[in-house]
Amino acid sequence: MDTQHPDLHPLYAAHIATLKARADEALAREGFEHLVIGAGQPAMQFLDDRPYPFAVNPHFKHWLPVTKAPGSWLVYTPGKRPRLVYLQPHDYWHVVPDAPAGYWVEHFDVVIIREAKDARAHLPGDSARCAIVSETGLDGFAPNNPQGVLDYLHWQRSCKTAYELAMMRVASKIGARAHRAAERAFRAGVSEFDIHLAYMTAARQIDELPYNNIIALNEHCAVLHYMELQHAPPAHARSFLIDAGASFHGYASDITRTYAAADATEFQALIDAVDAAQRGFVAKVRAGQSYPDLHVHAHIVLGGILKDHGFVRMSPEAALDGGVTSTFFPHGLGHPIGLQVHDVAGFMASDRGGTLPRPPGHPYLRMTRALEPGMVVTIEPGLYFIDMLLAELKNKPAAKDVDWTRVEAFRKYGGIRIEDDVVCTEGEPENLTRDAFAALG
């Protein structure tokens, strides 16, 4: 998306108006007069003078598409224009952040400072009257991160504005383009490391990537968060699982695909079955749908796939009750996504806090709310052949109904995961990921 495109101006204006209204309500509820948000500061590595990669406060980038201005602050007082205190230091050791420019600047009073400590003069005088949402502070201006304010803002953040969805569509397109490049590299027979390089080259992102890429070949596909990146290609690449996203103006995409080698026809058939099931789960991303119920439904469907493909000799319901589906599908169906890959408020009971518990037996589910229009969630079912979990299953009563020879034959492929980012709307869901792949042709 052209960041100077005229369509962005009304989208962003409406977005800022929404954030102001939310902040007004949050501050009034908790008795504060100002919302103050710090961009944050780079953290230094222990006993070293090197910083960790800087990650901006998500509350800061919710207001404006600035992700690389550590030491900056945003101040919002109801009824007034937001103020951006922007640190642009005199520095010849590092690249200095560009001067504020673009479609968003007209909505802020911008103050440029040269040293981080100078921000204090442009923040409200009485910190006790401020909801200060930040990890770091200044002398005499410490973060308080009031829970009531955070609860309300996090709850509301679950439902994206039209501007936010526009940003996420672009992030999805960048990710889809890079996924295509990674698949081509896999087909060419290169190493995990070289596939990773192909992905980053196509995405044209490094530190901007919303999370560390998972690039796994063969048995490595069974490690859910595999990030080792072998430099030598395997003698025979049988399978490839890639979980990788991209960012645009602070918003993330999160995409997973699994591929089979040309001669791995049975594994390809299993991928196709999971893919068809995943599309069915996406179709159920509707307003009012309980996400935990959808997760349990996914276990039933995947249990049917295990039976249809000869791994088990039991009904899907029995596979769920006996802990068999959790062996092959040990993680949650997905999570909220937006400013953060695992976005906030997935467990909240209301805008005043509280927690909706996970269903018994599903400890890794990352969302327990019902879906609402504007929410964006991932839908990422999987089937894996994980040695540790298979060993545990062998000690359960259900083990007698598992075809262990069949399971053993698939261990060399590692596993399957397919993940899309999906918008809940008033009607049909919008699949950001599939739409992005389709646009590539």
Residue 3 forms part of a structural domain: no
Query: Would 374 be classed as within a structural domain?
Result: yes
Q: What's the rounded mean pLDDT across residues 299-324?
A: 98
* pLDDT score of 95 more than 70: yes
| pLDDT reported for residue 282 | 98
The mean of the pLDDT values for the chain is 96
Number of folded domains that form the chain: 2
CATH number for 65: 3.40.350.10
Last residue of a domain, one of 157, 185, 208: 157
Same domain? 324 vs 378: yes
pLDDT tops 70 at residue 9 = yes
- DSSP letter, residue 188: T
DSSP characters over 76-111: E-TTS--EEEEE----SSSPPPPPP-STTGGGSEEE
Q: Is the residue at 341 inside a domain?
A: yes
pLDDT > 70 fraction of the chain, expressed in percent and rounded? 99
Whether the predicted pLDDT of 103 surpasses 70 = yes
| pLDDT, tens digit (0-9, with 9 covering 90-100), for 288-305 | 999 999 999 999 999 999
**Spatial contact of 108 and 62, defined as CB atoms under 8 Å apart:** no
Is 335 in the same domain as 209?
Answer: yes
Structural domain including 146 reads 8-157
Q: Tell whether 165 is covered by a domain.
A: no
Average pLDDT over residues 53-64: 97
Q: Is residue 183 part of a domain?
A: yes
Above 60 in pLDDT, residue 4? Answer: no
Q: Are residues 249 and 107 in the same domain?
A: no
Residues 130, 184 share a domain: no
Tell me, yes or no, whether 361 and 335 share the same domain.
yes
Q: Are residues 223 and 131 in the same domain?
A: no
Do residues 61 and 250 make contact, with C-beta atoms less than 8 angstroms apart? yes
Rounded distance between C-alpha atoms, residue 169 and residue 380, angstroms: 18
- The CATH number of the domain holding residue 247 is 3.90.230.10
pLDDT of res. 353:
97
| pLDDT at residue 6 is higher than 70 | no
Mean pLDDT of 50-78: 96
Are the C-beta atoms of 261 and 401 separated by less than 8 Å?
no
Pair (18, 96) in one structural domain: yes
Question: Within this chain, do residues 152 and 183 fall inside the same structural domain, yes or no?
Answer: no
The residue out of 157, 190, 222 marking a domain boundary is 157
Are 271 and 303 within one domain? yes
User: pLDDT digit string (tens) for 339-392?
Assistant: 999 999 999 999 999 999 999 999 999 999 999 999 999 999 999 999 999 999
Domain co-membership, 124 together with 56:
yes
Same domain, 315 and 356: yes
Exposed/middle/buried for 222, CB within 10 Å: 0-12, 13-18, 19+? buried
